[in-house]
Amino acid sequence: MSLAKEFLAAGPGCALANGLLNCFETTKVKLQLHDTTKPVYRSPTTRGIMLQIAHEEGIVRGLLTPGLSASLTRSMLYGAYRVGLYSTLRTRLSERGEDPTWVHRLVSGMITGGVGSMLSCPLDVVRTRMQADSGVIRNGRYVTGLRRGEAVRYRGMISAFWTIFRQEGLKNGLYRGASVTVARASLLNGAQLASYDTLKRQLKWEEGPMLHSFCALLSGVVAQTVIMPIDTIKSQMMLGNRWVDVAAILQKNGPFYLYRGWVPACAVKV
């Protein structure tokens, strides 16, 4: 398969998957940013938040569509690079005619994930903020969600792009937390694609949907577990926090705080 075909197959495929599972991405962001000192959600669990959002805002408006335009655009770009470029780079890194080793798979995944993440970082910032801000609006203010009582900042994806760029600039706005984002994507992609590739070769099952589905399920869980703490820190930084004091967070909330939102995050990855 040519590189162009790999790009065209990976981009729309990732966009479709992320679009269908946007409800879990929205829930994950809400969980990661929920402040226990100012509780908005009665039960800060995956099920509790999803049920409360569905009741207060509706399933479509509250769970399925927040940040969807930015999510689909990001998935097209990010997915094309992180998945579409992977097999080509893996083959190039290995010796000609030889099977790629797990090191080749890991490095290939980390490079393609990092490149894709750097290119799509502004879309990631916009998506995260739109999902964090989402809620029912009355008289220009939110009456539900994490920003309950506060004024509306963004009216849509283009509005979010322009507002963030105008108020915060490129480096401190649209590329806020880029180093953490790239590190997260490199670890995620390296762990996910390398474990998927390795599992598929080691199981020696008959090629087919069962093999691909099983390997995708396990590799998604492995990858998300590896990067979940970084994922939580990334969401905090993209929301606008210049510095995230991890030590203070752990002291106040315990180590499992960094794994808040793990269930919906895994649902998106697998």
Question: Which range, of 47-51, 239-243, 247-251, averages the lowest pLDDT?
Answer: 239-243
Q: How far, in Å, CA of 164 to CA of 141, rounded?
A: 19
Q: Going by C-beta distance under 8 Å and a sequence separation of 6 or more, which residues neighbour residue 14?
A: 75, 76, 78, 79, 80, 83
- The pLDDT assigned to 180 comes to 86
Categorize the per-residue pLDDT at 243 as very low, low, confident or very high, splitting at 50, 70 and 90. Answer: low
In angstroms, rounded to a whole number, what is the distance separating the alpha carbons of residues 233 and 235?
A: 5
CATH number at residue 179: 1.50.40.10
Look at residues 142, 147, 124 and name the one whose alpha carbon lies nearest to residue 35: 147
Provide the pLDDT for residue 168. Answer: 93
CA distance 240 to 182: 17
Tell me the per-residue pLDDT of 21-44, one tens digit each, with 9 for 90 and over: 899 999 999 998 888 778 899 998
Using a cut of 0.75, tell me whether the model's pTM lies above it.
Answer: yes
Q: What is the pLDDT of residues 200-232, one digit of tens each?
A: 888 878 888 888 888 888 888 888 888 888 888
pLDDT computed for residue 66 by the predictor: 96
Give the pLDDT band (50/70/90) at residue 134.
very high
SS3 of 90-139: HHHHCCCCCCCCHHHHHHHHHHHHHHHHHHHHHHHHHHHHHHHHCCCEEC
Distance CA 158, CA 171 (A): 18
Furthest C-alpha separation in the chain: 65
CB 79, CB 124: distance < 8 Å: no
> What gap in Å lies between CA 186 and CA 116, rounded to an integer?
9
3-state secondary structure (DSSP) of residue 176: coil
| Residue whose pair of structure tokens reads 């087919």 in the numeric block | 208
Question: What's residue 97's pLDDT?
Answer: 59
**pLDDT value of position 270:** 57
Residue 142 DSSP code: E
The number of distinct structural domains making up the chain is 1
For residue 170, what are the domain limits? 3-269
The mean pLDDT value for 183-207 works out to 84
What pLDDT score was predicted for residue 188? 86
Alpha helices in the chain (DSSP H): 3-20, 22-33, 46-57, 59, 68-82, 86-93, 102-133, 157-168, 178-203, 209-239, 246-253, 262-269
Query: What is the band of 103 on the pLDDT scale with cuts at 50, 70, 90?
Result: confident
What gap in Å lies between CA 14 and CA 19, rounded to an integer?
A: 8
Beta strand pairing call for 137-138 and 141-142: antiparallel
- Cβ neighbours around 118 below 10 Å, total: 17
Q: What is the pLDDT of residues 78-88, one digit of tens each?
A: 888 887 888 88
Q: Residue 188 in 3-state DSSP?
A: helix
Q: How many CB atoms are located within 10 Å of the residue 1 CB?
A: 10
